[in-house]
Chain A
Amino acid sequence: MSHPPVEDQPPPTTVFPARAIHTLDLTVPSGSAIAVKDGRFLALGKTDELVDVYGGTVDHSLADKVLLPGFVEAHSHKDTGGIWQFTYVGFEARRGPNGRLWRGCTTFDAVVDRLREADRLLDDPGEPLLAWGLDPIFWPGERFDRRQLDAVSTTRRIFVAHSNMHLATVNSALMEQEGIDPDTVAEGVPKDDSGWPTGELQEFPAMALAGQTFRSFFGRTQSDESVLMFGQAARNVGVTTVADLGTSNLLDEAVVQQWIDIADETFPMRAAMFHGALMSAPDGDEACAAAMVDLKRRSTDRVRFGNVKLLMDGSIQGGTARLRWPGYLHGGPNGIWLIAPEQAAERIGPYHRAGLLVHTHANGDQAVDALLDAFDQVQTANPLPDHRHTIQHCQMTTPGQYRRMKALGMCANVFSNHTWFWGDQHRAITVGPDRAARMNAARTALDIGVPLSMHSDSPVTPLGPLHVAWAAINRQTPKGEIMGEHERVTVAEAMHAVTMGAAWQLRMDDVIGSITPQKFADCAVLEADPFEVDPAELRDIPVWGTMSGGVLHQGSPQTDA
């Protein structure tokens, strides 16, 4: 049966009644139904009224749900999805993009059992077993090494990345195949009393000794499957837009086309792609900026180009962030510079002058000092009134630095999840309780008037804006300490930060971030109301899924494998 083509037929309007709708748009903060047309919000109001005015059909499937604008994760990485191609052996339970709950492996035996199960599922004996998430910090005084992995298999190569991705443990079969033996003298390859490497490979040069297995691990997260799983992971937690912060080399046409092709109207997620210019500007920053300007024109409704990521320093828990006096509580040396302070303005300048958006990683307070010096120079030389350059992480940024950021027109994206994932370590080991209480100072940023977002840095911590918001609102550590009660924010502020706040920093607030007519019809679809539940339980709100461009995407069914 075929229909004659009908021209000028308007696309259908669909009205979605909901239990509650929080628009995050102060003009019309709430409503009971939305009308959606052509992938965009048409109007907000009451169901009958919307049908009267706009016609169309009523879809009751969200009638008992709570709608917020789709969450925007302004700092995440592509391997958020791809990492789940590997077997998870972390201490804390996590849920994969397909909805499977991976219980935490809290003992050595649990790790071995998990790996044995994965070994049984692999048919090809030549295929390596790849796993991730191991965190020996939870077993102080005990050693997890090749002996445990040899109990899994003496023939199959096994590569287990630790949770920080800077270390790995491998088994004897892999060591034999790659020639890792007593003659291996590389730093980062510790040996036991017999002179044999223990199987632990520390940092990338040592991990790379695992040869093809190492390359499989770090290469497989570049697959199409990886991007698709990223979309699933986002949908499951109410995220409709992510920023991919420098994980993809956008000078590589294949990577660009991969994103454009995959992110069609059926894909549940939009992405703001940030080119990792720190390492990938082989012809210099001017040439790289010109390429990004060209690429920006190829942006689609779902994939935005024209953004650049740079990095100033490392991480606080890794001891590589650059700190002001008095440095690390543990007395370790100050961290590392990834860009020389005196070169920062020179590196940022070309992107700034080209009108590109620059987001720069700076964890430590000294790194932020150097970065602010650079932006001061860049802005003074070429003032742009609305650049929205953003400092990523801002973990130790002080009130004085926030005032400078305000004066320079900069935005802050704070790493709020740290209070939960490393809060106790920051109090006891890295910076001590006083500076820990001042970390990720969302309250200060807001009070000073710095545009704010907050993030997970997934997969460093799990993707999930409700958890991020919960952390910023409660600032509770696993040991039950409140880490800086004066830096807490309200539910409304946190919800704004993970929607409009993030959209602003991505220069996408005109199309996403609130439920506002004309914007893309992107919603987080929740089973409970964040403004009604006890703020201490915000992270426990079940997420039904999302609406993306007017299309409903239900989250993966949760299974407990």
Chain B
Amino acid sequence: MTPGSVRLPLTVIGGYLGAGKTTLLNHLLANPDGQRIAVLVNDFGEIDIDGRLLDSATDHVLRLANGCICCSVADNFAETLETVRGFAECIDRVVVEVSGVGQPHKVSQWGHSPGFSPDGVVVLVDPLSILNRAVDPYVGDTVVAQVAQADLVVISRTDLASVDELEATEAWLDGVTGATVLRAPLPTAVLLGPAFRPLDLDHFPPARKVNHGSVAGGPQHADHVTISRRLDGPISRPSIETWAQSRPGGVVRAKGLVRVNDRPNDRTVLQICGSSTMVSVDGPWDDGEDAVVAIALPGTPRAALVKWLNLLR
């Protein structure tokens, strides 16, 4: 694989003020789960860095001892991405924090920039305030648009909200978005997608349970199920369509780098984040292995997942 040929997955984290974005980002930086994450924020002040963990700092970039970096979004986003691209060899993925009134879906379009690939729009929702925000004359429409265009909505502060509040939030979300709705805490791999570079696959034994740290406080979550499969070579395009339409309930993330027999020299990317499925070509095939990884909610039957991944042929 030639250096720089892999596009960095770029996940966008949105949600209105108080939804828990800062808490989440700090948690990801402290518990990156083996992934070297570049976090892009508007304001360094919100990042909670223990001085001992700081490796180096410039005006726009903090490097942490655990391999993560934190960049401030300077004057323009294109320049910031250019800076991040300079770190491509030493990071695995990018997380972009969107301002509380920003539209995460729009920001996620930057994921198509050279060197990156969009990897999901995750929107956090505070169950204690969302129903009031949604009818606020100033920001109600903004809040609704944020969740409406999300791929994955994560309800935060589940340790503080009552069951009634959580259920009311879920009922409201059901009416305004087609996104997959999950309750925090969630493992890093669900929030950001599985750690996946073709060369890493050797370190990713098939069909194992993940044991990740939890996110955003609360009781320890039950284990999510991760399953991966190596493919024997190029697969057919109809099988991708069948696969996409037959997704078992419980699958929240998937990523595949495969060859398709009508384009055997190109790298086709299969991607699932919450409710969205994306199939795209992001460059020439690079002699890696055709493979796919999926993550499902705790309790999802492994047999169903195996059967589903076997549809790719």
Contact = CB atoms under 8 A, between A and B. Distances in A.
A337 B81 CA distance: 23
Contacts of B110: 205, 208
A188 interface: yes
A183 B260 CA distance: 14
Given A279-B73, A282-B43, A337 B114 contact: no
The bracket for how many chain B residues form the interface is: 35 or more
Contact of B45 (A209, A283, A343): A283
Interface in A189-220: 189, 203-206, 208-209, 211, 214-215, 218
Interface string B48-73: 00000000000110000000000011
A208 B78 CA distance: 7
B78 A340 contact: no
A287 B112 CA distance: 33
B135 interface: no
Interface string A140-163: 000000000000000000000000
A250 B72 CA distance: 16
A123 interface: no
Contacts of A211: 114
Interface in A275-297: 276, 279-284, 287
A298 B131 CA distance: 49
Interface stretch (B138-146, B195-203, B289-297): B138-146
A206 B44 contact: no
Interface string A111-149: 000000000000000000000000000000000000000
A219 to B, nearest CB: 8
B42 interface: yes
Nearest to A333: B141
Contact of B17 (A338, A340, A370): A340
B113 interface: yes
Given A339-B101, A341-B138, A341-B139, A185 B112 contact: yes
B75 A280 contact: yes
B268 to A, nearest CB: 10
Nearest to B43: A284
A279 B79 CA distance: 13
B141 A204 contact: no
A373 B78 CA distance: 34
B245 interface: no
B306 interface: no
A340 B142 CA distance: 10
B10 to A, nearest CB: 11
Contacts of A186: 109, 112
A109 interface: no
B281 interface: yes
Interface in B73-92: 73-79, 81-82
Contacts of A218: 76, 78
Interface in B109-125: 109-110, 112-114
Interface in A235-293: 249, 276, 279-284, 287
B112 A336 contact: no
24 contacts: A179-B114, A183-B281, A185-B280, A209-B113, A209-B114, A211-B114, A214-B78, A215-B82, A249-B74, A249-B75, A276-B75, A279-B75, A282-B43, A282-B44, A282-B60, A283-B43, A333-B141, A336-B101, A336-B142, A338-B101, A340-B100, A340-B139, A342-B139, A369-B138
> Which 6 A-B pairs rank lowest in CB-CB distance, beginning with the nearest?
A186-B112, A205-B109, A284-B45, A282-B72, A337-B101, A183-B281
Interface of B: 16-17, 42-45, 59-60, 72-79, 81-82, 99-101, 103, 106-107, 109-110, 112-114, 138-139, 141-142, 145, 266, 278, 280-282
